[in-house]
Amino acid sequence: MKIRTLFIEDERWGVSPYFKELVNNDFECELAKDGDEAIKKLQTEHFDLVSMDISFPPGKSLDEDTIPIKAGVKLLTLIRQGKIENCNPAIQIIIMTAVMNYEIEKEIKKLGVSAYLKKPIEFNKVIETFCNMKHKNEKDSSCSKMPNLA
């Protein structure tokens, strides 16, 4: 079973290095570059997992007063409150961010995320985190093609 994953990241180079390894481990990866694209995909497609940065262009869907550094908080709030049609409010979410703001981090964690990773993140740590989410989704023992984590 493929784990459909939506990455919300305005800088593709920040997440695309993981795609090949994740695809090898039965993930299907899609990218949304801003809040508008993320909400549209969440409303119209099924995803098992969301990975997002905290800071990305909010677009018009999140709120014209939302600043990029708060876009992730706003989107996560909408997801958890069930305000995005056809999106499971309990969907697993991984945060991968370089934003170093204690208040935002506290707010994000309070809203409930499966993992909170601060960039720069070791490649194998990212893959391991996603494989752990796959295990929770599938009740699978592990990713079969894990890279050497030594």
For the chain, the structural domain boundaries read 3-138
**Rounded Cα distance, 116 and 82, in Å:** 21
Bridge partners of 92, per DSSP, are 49
Superfamily designation of domain 3-138: Response regulator (3.40.50.2300)
pTM for this prediction:
0.89
To 10 degrees, the CA torsion angle through 64, 68, 70, 72?
100
pLDDT digits (tens, 9 = 90+) for 13-58: 989 999 999 999 999 999 999 999 999 999 999 999 999 999 999 9
On whether the CB atoms of residues 90 and 108 are closer than 8 A, the answer is: no
